[in-house]
């Protein structure tokens, strides 16, 4: 759920000028605690840490010594089991662990799924930290940077403010969608627009920022296609249908929330290795949750 925040909250300190391992402490015989790694994240992310944020510990003891770090989009039961099996007790997730944006479980006190997940976390002594707001506020946005790398579009980005726009070799919407599905292994990709429409300018509006952000990108003259995660079907989808009927070159490709951001958490693992040298750091994909009948 990508949050668009004022640039006032985040000083644009680019990671491009930072040498590998900047801010990394010298190797130590003692493993760092979760609290110490979170403090390193705060120092290295390059933007002011907001006191009002969802980027907090969701489960576990912050003073737990870390045996290994796993980054992921969602701390699903499957991800937690794989992390525990591989000896990684600190999970850094981009999205909620307990089924709503604020991880507020007050209304689920007696839920058996919630109880079982919490029991597993406690049994395995796992700690989950959410890294959402500040990974997006980083300059460049950590999710966007990872997605651009996964798509092979790093050098195609057009300079400018707002959602990143990429100029790619002209293709049809049909071919672009098929290529995106293959590259990102998006199982349930959805497309709105004329399949034969020519496309060469793609805006990445990852996750679920809301239809206003998607439509704002579509209103730009330099955007043909918005590449997003999810969207209410009665908003951006209907805007595209009307735009297409009016002969305008506009389209929407929805990858699904996970597929639109997961590569950003793979990039997070690489970034963390620059200042967490003492323990293994690994990306664990949560994977696309949806499937279509054959």
CA distance 98 to 108: 9
Question: Are 129 and 38 within 8 A, CB to CB?
Answer: yes
**Region of 22 on the Ramachandran plot (φ > 0 left; ψ -120 to 50 alpha; else beta):** beta
CA distance 177 to 159: 24
Residue 4 confidence (pLDDT): 37
Residue 9 confidence (pLDDT): 40
Residue 27 confidence (pLDDT): 54
- pLDDT, tens only, 146-176: 999 999 999 999 998 889 999 999 999 999 9
Query: pLDDT category, 207, cuts 50, 70, 90?
Result: very high
CB proximity list for 11: less than 8 A, separation 6 or greater: 46, 47, 48, 139
Q: Which domains does the chain have, with CATH numbers?
A: 15-138+261-283 (3.40.1390.30), 142-257 (3.40.1390.30)
Does pLDDT of 19 surpass 60? no
Question: Are 156 and 216 within 8 A, CB to CB?
Answer: no
Does pLDDT of 211 surpass 80? yes
Residue 28 confidence (pLDDT): 54
Assessment of whether the complete model's pTM goes beyond 0.85: yes
Closest CA to 162 of 122, 210, 216, 119: 216
CA distance 274 to 263: 18
- What Cα–Cα distance (Å) separates residue 152 from each residue in 127, 143, 156, 168? 33, 14, 8, 10
Buried b (16+ CB within 10 A) or exposed e, 121-140: beeeebbbbbbbbbbbbbbb
Residue 180 confidence (pLDDT): 94
Pairing of strands 165-172, 157-158: antiparallel
CA distance 266 to 272: 10
């Amino acid at each position: 759920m990508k949050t668009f925040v004022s640039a006032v909250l985040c000083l644009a300190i680019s990671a491009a000028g930072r040498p590998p391992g900047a801010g990394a402490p010298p190797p130590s015989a003692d493993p760092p605690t979760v609290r110490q790694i979170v403090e390193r994240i705060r120092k290295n992310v390059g933007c002011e840490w907001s006191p009002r944020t969802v980027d907090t510990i969701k489960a576990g003891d912050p003073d737990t010594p870390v045996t290994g770090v796993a980054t992921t989009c969602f701390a699903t039961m499957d991800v937690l089991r794989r992390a525990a099996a591989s000896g990684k007790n600190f999970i850094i997730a981009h999205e909620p662990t307990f089924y709503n944006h604020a991880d507020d479980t007050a209304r689920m006190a007696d839920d058996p799924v919630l109880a079982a997940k919490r029991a597993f976390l406690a049994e395995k002594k796992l700690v989950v930290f959410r890294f959402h707001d500040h990974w997006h506020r980083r300059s460049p946005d950590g999710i966007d940077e990872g997605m651009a790398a996964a798509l092979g579009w790093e050098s195609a980005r057009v300079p400018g403010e707002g959602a990143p726009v990429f100029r790619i070799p002209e293709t049809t919407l049909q071919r672009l969608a098929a290529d995106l599905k293959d590259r990102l292994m998006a199982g349930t990709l959805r497309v709105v627009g004329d399949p034969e429409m020519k496309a060469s300018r793609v805006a990445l509006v990852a996750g679920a920022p809301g239809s206003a952000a998607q439509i704002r990108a579509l209103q730009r003259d330099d955007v043909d296609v918005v590449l997003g995660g999810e969207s209410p079907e009665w908003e951006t989808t209907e805007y595209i249908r009307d735009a297409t009927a009016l002969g305008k070159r506009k389209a929407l490709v929805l990858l699904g929330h996970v597929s639109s951001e997961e590569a950003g958490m793979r990039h997070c693992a690489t970034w963390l290795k620059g200042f967490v040298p003492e323990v293994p750091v690994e990306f664990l994909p949560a994977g696309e949750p949806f499937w279509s009948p054959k």
